[in-house]
Structure 1
Amino acid sequence: MITPYCIDVPQADLDDLNDRLARTRWPNEVADAGWDYGFPLARLKELAGLWRTGYDWRTHEAALNELPQFTTEIESQNIHFVHVRSADPDALALILTHGWPGSFLEFLDVIEPLSRDFHLVIPSIPGYGFSGPTHERGWDAARVARAWAELMRRLGYDRYGAQGGDFGAGISMALGAVAPEQVVGVHVNYLPTRPDPDVELSATDEARLDKVRQLMAARPPYQALQALTPQTIGYALTDSPVAQLAWIAERFAQWTDPGSPVSDERMLTNISLYWLTATAASSARLHRDTARQAAPCPVPLGVAVFAHDITQSVRPLAERLYDIWHWSEFESGGHFAAMEVPELLAEDVREFFSRVRAQ
């Protein structure tokens, strides 16, 4: 059964958020700390003050409720999704999947341009936002992909494409493996590539691999904690809105292109979604449950590489594993491409699937 959904956060939850923000117990900070010790105190106080007194959830809630939203139950898990039909009845269906610490909100700015050519399905990953929390083990990328295949079947789509970044990329590729007869192609804007001594690389590609090596050598604290003890960090993030704010705002500060930052309003809406649904712990479990290995993808693959992403894919290495039909390099944009440079991402998605459909 598919049921229409309307966001309606209880006022008591918003009042509680305001009260907790007002009673924040702040740590001290050494002089001239900058980013050397973590998120700067002055910037976090600025964001917390905006969240408490300058941000109106109800305004954004009303805007989100203009989207056609639905829920359905798959494998005993509630699944929330947006479903926007194109005016073109012959349009290809496209399922868009977010990552962490994003949400379905990542795709707000690509809905209009992409819906000209695609019927759009934009689900929230189980454990995230209105698809959360989860209540059992095993919701890894492959299981999410199987749920997506069932969702698309219920919606009546027997041929469709998939797109995603971050975890959404892995889930989209897994969907290609789960339903290769239905998925015509997968487009990703995040594709980590591992070194291969048998592949000769250019100086540019070697520099990209060095960046990956440095990242893996100094494993990011958020990744270690969420991959090893998501429940433990979940206590702090679920109890303190400022902890949740710092945890996610740090990622937006470090993973975006300084030339195309995500607005504070949009970021706070995304963070509010995590806070108001109490899904910090359940969303973090995806880091623990999903294996860190190359995801198989037997269908045509399109790759968009953005210059300010966490890592940049190396094409000769990717081509050893995947059937690459399309490869684009962009000088702007970062990890949250759909939010930072929506027009670039939308056009690249359109170009890839036009090529796939023409074949």
Structure 2
Amino acid sequence: MPIRPYTLAIPDAALADLAQRLANARWADALDSDSWADGTNPAYLARVISHWRERFDWRAQEQRLNRLPQFITEVDGQGIHFIHQRGRGPAPLPLVITHGWPGSFIEIEPLLPLLADPAAHGGDAADAFDVVVPSLPGYGASPAPRQAGTGSRRIASLWQGLMAQLGYPRFGAQGGDIGAGVGLWLAREHAEQVLGVHLNYVPASFRPPLGEGQPPLSSEEQAYLERLAAFAASEGAYALLQGTKPQTLAFALADSPLGLAAWIIEKFHAWSDHGGDLEQVLDLDTVLTDISLYWFSASLQASLRLYKENRQQPLAFYPGERPQVPLGVALFPKELPMPPRSWLARSFDVQRWAYQRKGGHFAALEQPQLLAEEIRAFFRPLRSSLIAV
């Protein structure tokens, strides 16, 4: 399939079906209608659904998104939707950015102008990037995989193939959440093509070599593993379900936009740095555009199943395995459990480790300026390597 332009165009019938389902939604009762303790706050969800039904304008969002340079192609039999925003500067560096769950390509949208045209946003034109933002298979506009086996490892290979199609033999990679895992797989298996990898999250599945012949765990590393275990026990039910029985959950979410909204909004609320008011950092139209992309994609099963695929192919490194790809990490204060630098340094050349003053798991949406500045700073000294090649 050649690369061709892509336009979002949800049929009127799909919009009417959504409106009817929202109007006829069956609400679960709750012991406390104004609490997040048992999951999504019922009162807040009612506010979100009211906005979705009465004020949210999908067509306006669709029109806005269609102003982005969107394309679709096929790599190794898999359809891939992507944004390709070319940079404005003397030598834009190719950069592939991967979103996560429950995000979509709109998660990266605020970064596009900051990275592609830094001079227009208080930066230096020499830091410009050609930004490529693919949609994960089954997320939003990329078709769902037609067979099992598409985890972050295969996605990394798909991205390498996509960048080759676009004429980028070497490129940088960036990501958070699932995108962080894709970035580490790119570094691990495509080191010759990858100039550097920048992350704003370190996947819990990443495991450097431990045990006999390896340095003992430091107190910081042990504390990190304890934080991971505590998070899994108190907040990890979503990942365990999506990683083991995604099909069962998919039936519920594919049939109920109310259920889908509750499933996703809980994570936006829990994982963002908002001080108690989510809409201080993420407005409802942004959140509902993301949820609507999941709903209209009709591929809920694929978006959930990616967790199962990644459980079956964990990022466990072998003794002596050390990709020769520079790594940078931006640490946001309300992020999920993050390891100390030494944890990653067991397997990678960590060249930048930068703490941020605010922000959470959805850094590209919450604090795009801070994240963009970090991405520019990490890749700045690596640009000469690309020019040399």
Same fold (TM over 0.5): yes
Asked if structure 2 preserves the Cα contact closer than 8 Å seen for 1:82 and 1:122, the reply is yes
1:49 is paired with a residue of what secondary structure?
Answer: helix
- Counterpart position of 2:367: 341
Partner Cα distance (1:248, 1:312) in 2? 22
**CA offset digits 1:58-81 (Å, max 9, x no partner):** 111001000110000122221100
State the TM-score, normalizing by the size of structure 1: 0.94
1:287 is paired with a residue of what secondary structure?
Answer: helix
Partner Cα distance (1:310, 1:261) in 2? 17
State the TM-score, normalizing by the size of structure 2: 0.87
Asked if structure 2 preserves the Cα contact closer than 8 Å seen for 1:190 and 1:313, the reply is no
Partner Cα distance (1:88, 1:285) in 2? 40
Structure 1 position 353 matched with structure 2 position 367: no
In the TM superposition, 1:110-189 aligns within 5 A as: 110-116=111-117, 117-189=128-200
Unaligned runs of 5+ in 2: 118-127
Asked if structure 2 preserves the Cα contact closer than 8 Å seen for 1:97 and 1:125, the reply is yes
Measured after TM superposition, the shift of residue 9 of structure 1 is: 0.6
- Counterpart position of 1:37: 38
Distance 1:109 1:332, change over 3 A: same
Distance 1:299 1:15, change over 3 A: same
**CA offset digits 1:265-301 (Å, max 9, x no partner):** 1011000000011122111111001133346743110
Q: CA RMSD, aligned part only? A: 1.9
Could you tell me which of 301, 306, 314 is aligned with 1:292?
314
**CA offset digits 1:147-178 (Å, max 9, x no partner):** 11110000001121000000101101211223
What is the percentage of aligned positions where both structures have the same residue? 42
Distance 1:51 1:234, change over 3 A: same
Partner Cα distance (2:32, 2:9) in 1? 43
Mean CA deviation greater in 263-272 or 209-218: 209-218
Asked if structure 2 preserves the Cα contact closer than 8 Å seen for 1:82 and 1:121, the reply is yes
Could you tell me which of 262, 274, 278 is aligned with 1:246?
262
Asked if structure 2 preserves the Cα contact closer than 8 Å seen for 1:149 and 1:178, the reply is no
**CA offset digits 1:12-63 (Å, max 9, x no partner):** 1011101100000111111466122211211111111111111000111001
Distance 1:31 1:142, change over 3 A: closer
- Counterpart position of 2:26: 25
Measured after TM superposition, the shift of residue 347 of structure 1 is: 0.3
Asked if structure 2 preserves the Cα contact closer than 8 Å seen for 1:194 and 1:209, the reply is no
Unaligned runs of 5+ in 1: none
Measured after TM superposition, the shift of residue 236 of structure 1 is: 0.5
1:214 is paired with a residue of what secondary structure?
Answer: helix
**Number of equivalences:** 357
Could you tell me which of 318, 330, 333 is aligned with 1:307?
333
**CA offset digits 1:170-224 (Å, max 9, x no partner):** 101211223211110000011146696813335xx66544322201334622111
Could you tell me which of 180, 199, 211 is aligned with 2:217?
199
